[in-house]
């Protein structure tokens, strides 16, 4: 493939790809998320074998895509061009699907999703309640593309936002657009990305960096890998645009060493992007040079913390350092370094492509756009969902998530895993909103949502979070290392109903000191789940003091 | 370069660009307690005992003074109700390891910390890292290092290096705020382990 040197060439390449594709050629899109593809190899092979057997080679495509989101009903397949959706597909179903649906154009009834509430059949994704209430501006691309094929991404308009940014806009204009769209960081803090970009842009230095944080180490959070593995070019495109706006010529992708399939897709995507001239020198003939390097973590949670991550890229141990000077001013090798997470970068191409005004039409007053959420815990439809900000938690848990299994009652909705907070069932009408939820003590964090039913012990759950943090804290500073050690001791005896008088007060004191005096964001937020559960479920802690008997 | 003017505990203090709040306080005779700080070593920010309250651009923050850079018009308070509470709890957490450390006991008296507040820990080591950092930064030998993470973190001598370097040095022993016995013990353990292997 020759490199593309102008917007006109890009458009021509795109048209050629679309023309070459026969829209009526059947294609079986199989979901292949990061955690589950391993078990799905046999499904893919079964379809390939069956196509061969029925002598349909070259007439039917099999497309292994990223995550479709409906993990509870997986493996999911979508059969194009009719976009027929089958759930819980097994390798032994391949023969029937190909002969009856792909060739015979009839529906295999037993593989169609049935709404458990109404008993209605849903033949297309758009008819399934799980998908109906979502706005899948980002995730919706996943079933349409093979992440290993840049052509698939180009066919749906990929890299046209990059062309627009580089050839029609000045860096300052790109920055203003992102600022105007009020894009807020999806990695946890909800900090306005545009302001961070501006800080890095204005920092006086010749060399600057932009970084994509693809670490995603939070338990129960898997939306970043769903989009990164399923649509790597989207993230790459966002990162290049960010580099242009900030004045960085070098980008880094920081991701996990233990997800080889994700790494493979990123590497393939980077190579294809380089061949096409989307990274390298004089991108699209604009005169802008930019390159991207991939770095892997060393396997600890805290490597996802901004300053630890930057040290890791420098080749040092990923120990956090205090950010008294912002990393956007002094980051990697003391140079301005702008870090955003995968989902934040994924939002950039649509903001540039469709404009900030369009983006401002989605979401709530202070939180714009959509948010990807990974749903897990005591919920019928676990999976990855994407909803506009402002959607109520009730809609997410009941309409999309299908409610609580086994007829149990909802007890709490927990966001942000070990560094997040829990809201009680009474607050189910709360809208998904950075500021509203943060005020209630359950910051959205990266977007991992645990649903907990009435059988959950909040004391035990917090003990579990602390156990996780004990393994993941770097151990450098006293409030975090020793605070976790002692809080874990207290919660361990409380969860056995052997709490002592003064334990709750000690927890409160340790939480306060930890949140004020710890060195990094991990230490400062280890107390968040305990804080929020003491706020809403204090009686459970009181009942765990010895001789009072634990209620749960 | 012109001096930076800031206020520490109501007193106007002159500092040079690049100094930390702790440097500035010390140079004008204001005391801030420290544990992991050593003038020959890079600031570390591990113990957090030197935490102070700073007011900058209308916001109050709690920061490690050994790392926080001075800035124009910064208002610093080295004691307040919250600061004292932070130091008290930190000392209590460390006393769980080293209940007899003279340095800790002295601070405990000042901040009203109780030595038996939290469950006892079998290691004397408070992981201030003075020995580890001194060996790396001053001696450039790296004979002692941190291993593991979180509450499992500990110091360990590297037998191959320690067997060559440590007996004639031992400069890290007097730096230890708890008791150099811990270092001696771990060192012996390291050397015995080396011999046996």
Q: Are strands B75-77 and B59-64 parallel, antiparallel or unpaired?
A: unpaired
Chain B residues whose beta carbon lies within 8 Å of the beta carbon of residue A517: 48, 51, 62, 86, 90
Angle at A193 between CA A187 and CA A196, to 5 degrees: 110
| Contact between A300 and B62 using a beta-carbon 8 Å cutoff | no
Residue A92 located in a structural domain? yes
Chain A residues whose beta carbon lies within 8 Å of the beta carbon of residue B82: 516
Most A CBs within 10 Å: which of B151, B153, B154, as the mutation test of the A interface? B151
Residue A550 located in a structural domain? no
Distance CA A278, CA A285 (A): 10
Classified as helix, coil or strand, A253 is: strand
A305 and A416 within one domain = no
Chain B residues whose beta carbon lies within 8 Å of the beta carbon of residue A485: 121, 151
Angle at A381 between CA A376 and CA A383, to 5 degrees: 55
Chain A residues whose beta carbon lies within 8 Å of the beta carbon of residue B49: 478
Chain A residues whose beta carbon lies within 8 Å of the beta carbon of residue B127: 475, 478, 481
A312 and A167 within one domain = yes
Identify residues of B whose CB sits under 8 angstroms from chain A CBs: 45-49, 51, 62-64, 67-69, 82, 85-86, 89-90, 93-94, 96, 117-119, 121, 126-127, 129, 146, 148-153
Chain B residues whose beta carbon lies within 8 Å of the beta carbon of residue A474: 149-150, 153
A321 and A186 within one domain = yes
> CB B186: neighbour CB atoms within 10 A?
20
Distance CA A67, CA A48 (A): 20
Burial class (CB in 10 A: 0-12, 13-18, 19+), A55: exposed
> CB B88: neighbour CB atoms within 10 A?
20
Chain B residues whose beta carbon lies within 8 Å of the beta carbon of residue A467: none
Residue in B48, B117, B149 nearest the CB of A477: B48
Q: Are strands A370-377 and A383-388 parallel, antiparallel or unpaired?
A: antiparallel
> According to the model, what pLDDT value does residue A11 have?
96
Distance CA B132, CA A30 (A): 53
Q: How many CB pairs under 8 A join A and B?
A: 102
The continuous run of DSSP H or E covering A411 comes out as: strand A410-415
CATH number of residue A270's parent domain = 3.40.50.11540
Nearest to A404 by CA among A458, A459, A461, A455: A455
| Most distant pair of Cα atoms in chain B: their distance | 61
Token reading at B187: 């060192």
A318 and A292 within one domain = yes
CATH number of B130-196: 3.30.70
Residue A151 located in a structural domain? no
- The chain A residue lying nearest B50, using CA atoms, is A517
Residue A240 located in a structural domain? yes
What's the domain count of chain A? Answer: 4
**Chain B nearest C-alpha distance from A372 (Å):** 31
A463 and A446 within one domain = no
Residue B142's pLDDT band (boundaries 50, 70, 90)? very high
Domain of A91 in residue numbering reads as 24-144
Rg of chain A taking only CA atoms, in angstroms: 24
Classified as helix, coil or strand, A551 is: coil
| Contact between B51 and A488 using a beta-carbon 8 Å cutoff | no
What angle, rounded to 10 degrees, do the helices at A478-495 and A458-472 form? Answer: 150
Classified as helix, coil or strand, B147 is: strand
> According to the model, what pLDDT value does residue A325 have?
81
The structure tokens 């649906």 sit at A101
Token reading at A124: 């297309």
A465 and A492 within one domain = yes
CATH number of residue A399's parent domain = 3.10.20.600
The DSSP-derived string for A23-84 is: TTS-EEEEE--TTTGGGGHHHHHHHHHHHHHTT-TTTSEEEEES--S-GGGPSPEEEETTTE
| Contact between A324 and B153 using a beta-carbon 8 Å cutoff | no
| Contact between B146 and A475 using a beta-carbon 8 Å cutoff | yes
| pLDDT tens-digit readout, B53-110 | 999 888 999 999 999 999 999 999 999 999 999 999 999 999 999 888 889 999 999 9
CATH number of residue A507's parent domain = 1.20.1440.230
> According to the model, what pLDDT value does residue A305 have?
87
Full pLDDT tens readout for chain A, 552 residues? 679 999 999 999 999 999 999 989 999 999 987 666 555 789 999 999 999 999 999 999 999 999 999 999 989 999 999 999 999 999 999 999 999 999 999 999 999 999 988 899 999 999 999 999 999 999 999 999 999 999 999 999 999 999 999 999 999 999 999 999 999 999 888 999 999 999 999 999 999 999 999 998 888 888 999 999 999 999 999 999 999 999 999 999 999 988 888 999 999 999 999 999 999 999 999 999 999 999 998 878 888 888 999 999 999 888 888 777 889 999 999 999 999 999 999 999 999 999 999 999 999 999 999 999 999 999 999 999 999 999 999 999 999 999 999 999 999 999 988 888 999 999 999 999 999 999 999 999 889 999 999 999 999 999 999 999 998 888 999 999 999 999 999 999 999 999 999 999 999 999 999 999 999 988 999 999 999 999 999 999 999 997 654 554
Contact between B183 and B173 (Cβ < 8 Å):
yes
Identify residues of A whose CB sits under 8 angstroms from chain B CBs: 300, 321-322, 324-325, 469-479, 481-486, 488-489, 506, 509-510, 512-513, 516-519
- Domain endpoint, select from A308, A341, A360: A360
CATH number of B4-78: 3.10.20.740
- The chain A residue lying nearest B127, using CA atoms, is A476
A59 and A164 within one domain = no
Q: Which residues pair with A431 in a beta bridge?
A: A392
> According to the model, what pLDDT value does residue A219 have?
82
| pLDDT tens-digit readout, B117-126 | 898 887 888 9
Classified as helix, coil or strand, A410 is: strand
Distance CA A255, CA A274 (A): 20
Residue A275 located in a structural domain? yes
Nearest to A377 by CA among A439, A437, A461: A461
A469 and A442 within one domain = no
A310 and A163 within one domain = yes
- The chain B residue lying nearest A468, using CA atoms, is B150
- The chain B residue lying nearest A486, using CA atoms, is B118
> CB A266: neighbour CB atoms within 10 A?
24
Residue in B86, B118, B152 nearest the CB of A517: B86
| Contact between A479 and B93 using a beta-carbon 8 Å cutoff | yes
**Chain B nearest C-alpha distance from A516 (Å):** 6
> According to the model, what pLDDT value does residue B182 have?
60
Token reading at B63: 């920061």
- Domain endpoint, select from A426, A453, A480: A453
| Contact between B48 and A469 using a beta-carbon 8 Å cutoff | no
> According to the model, what pLDDT value does residue B113 have?
94
A202 and A231 within one domain = yes
Residue B193's pLDDT band (boundaries 50, 70, 90)? low
**Chain A nearest C-alpha distance from B128 (Å):** 8
**Chain B nearest C-alpha distance from A37 (Å):** 32
Domain boundaries, given as residue ranges, for chain B: 4-78, 80-122, 130-196
A337 and A220 within one domain = yes
- Domain endpoint, select from A111, A144, A177: A144
A180 and A134 within one domain = no
> According to the model, what pLDDT value does residue B51 have?
98
Residue in A322, A484, A486 nearest the CB of B67: A322
What ipTM was assigned to the predicted interfaces of this complex? 0.93
């Amino acid at each position: 493939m020759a490199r593309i040197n102008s917007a006109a060439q890009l458009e021509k390449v795109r048209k050629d790809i679309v023309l070459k594709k026969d829209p009526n050629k059947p294609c079986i899109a199989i979901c292949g998320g990061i955690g589950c593809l391993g078990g799905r190899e046999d499904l893919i092979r079964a379809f390939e074998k069956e196509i061969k057997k029925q002598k349909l080679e070259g007439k039917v495509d099999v497309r292994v895509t990223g995550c479709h989101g409906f993990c509870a009903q997986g493996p999911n397949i979508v059969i194009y061009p009719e976009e027929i959706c089958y759930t819980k597909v097994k390798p032994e179903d391949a023969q029937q699907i190909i002969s009856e649906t792909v060739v015979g154009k009839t529906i295999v009834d037993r593989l169609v999703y049935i709404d458990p509430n109404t008993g209605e059949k849903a033949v297309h994704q758009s008819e399934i309640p799980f998908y109906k209430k979502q706005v899948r501006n980002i995730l919706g691309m996943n079933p349409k593309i093979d992440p290993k094929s840049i052509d698939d991404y180009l066919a749906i308009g990929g890299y046209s936002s990059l062309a627009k940014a580089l050839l029609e806009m000045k860096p300052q204009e790109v920055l203003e657009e992102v600022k105007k769209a009020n894009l807020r960081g999806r990695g946890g803090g909800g900090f306005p990305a545009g302001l961070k970009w501006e800080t890095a842009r204005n920092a006086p230095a010749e060399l600057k960096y932009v970084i994509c944080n693809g670490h995603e180490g939070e338990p129960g959070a898997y939306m970043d890998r769903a989009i990164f593995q399923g649509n790597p070019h989207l993230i790459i495109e966002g990162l290049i645009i960010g580099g242009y706006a900030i004045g960085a010529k070098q980008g880094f992708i920081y991701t996990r060493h233990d997800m080889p399939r994700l790494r493979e897709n990123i590497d393939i995507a980077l190579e294809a992007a380089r061949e096409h001239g989307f990274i390298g020198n004089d991108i699209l003939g604009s005169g802008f040079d930019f390159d991207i390097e991939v770095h892997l973590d060393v396997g600890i949670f805290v490597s996802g913390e901004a300053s630890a991550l930057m040290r890791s890229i420098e080749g040092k141990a990923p120990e956090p350092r205090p950010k008294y000077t912002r990393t956007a001013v002094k980051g990697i090798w003391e140079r301005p370094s702008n870090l955003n997470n995968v989902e934040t970068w994924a939002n950039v191409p649509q903001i540039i492509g469709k404009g900030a005004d369009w983006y401002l039409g989605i979401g709530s007053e202070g939180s714009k756009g959509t948010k990807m959420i990974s749903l897990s815990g005591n919920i019928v439809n676990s999976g990855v969902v994407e909803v506009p900000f402002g959607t109520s938690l009730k809609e997410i848990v009941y309409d999309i998530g299908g409610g609580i299994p086994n007829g149990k009652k909802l007890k709490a909705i927990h966001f942000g895993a070990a560094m997040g907070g829990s809201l009680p069932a009474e607050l189910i009408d709360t809208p998904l909103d950075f500021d509203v939820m943060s005020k209630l003590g359950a910051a959205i964090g990266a977007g991992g949502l645990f649903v907990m039913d009435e059988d959950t012990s909040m004391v035990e759950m917090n003990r579990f979070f602390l156990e996780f943090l004990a393994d993941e804290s770097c151990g450098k500073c006293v409030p975090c290392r020793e605070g976790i050690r002692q809080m874990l001791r207290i919660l361990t005896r409380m969860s056995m109903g052997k709490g002592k008088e003064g334990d709750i007060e000690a927890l409160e004191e340790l939480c306060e000191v930890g949140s004020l005096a710890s060195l990094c964001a991990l230490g400062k937020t280890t107390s968040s789940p305990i804080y929020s559960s003491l706020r809403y479920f204090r009686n459970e802690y009181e009942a765990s003091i010895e001789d009072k008997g634990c209620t749960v | 370069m012109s001096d930076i003017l800031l206020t520490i505990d109501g007193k106007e203090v002159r500092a040079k660009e690049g100094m930390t709040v702790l440097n500035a306080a010390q140079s004008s005779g204001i005391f801030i307690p420290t544990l992991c700080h050593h003038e020959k070593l890079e600031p570390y920010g591990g113990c957090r005992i030197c935490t102070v309250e700073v007011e900058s651009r209308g916001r109050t923050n709690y920061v490690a003074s050994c790392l926080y850079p001075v800035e124009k018009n910064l208002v610093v308070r080295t004691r307040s109700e919250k600061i004292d509470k932070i130091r008290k709890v930190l000392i209590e957490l460390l006393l769980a390891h080293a209940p007899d450390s003279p340095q800790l006991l002295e601070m405990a008296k000042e901040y009203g910390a109780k030595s038996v507040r939290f469950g006892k820990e079998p290691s004397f080591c408070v992981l201030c890292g003075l020995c580890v950092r001194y060996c790396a930064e001053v001696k450039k030998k790296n004979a002692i290092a941190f291993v593991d993470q979180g509450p499992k973190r500990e110091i360990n001598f590297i037998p191959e290096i320690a067997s060559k370097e440590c007996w004639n040095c031992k400069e890290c022993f007097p730096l230890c705020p708890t008791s150099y016995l811990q270092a001696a013990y771990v060192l012996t353990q390291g050397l015995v382990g080396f011999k046996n292997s």
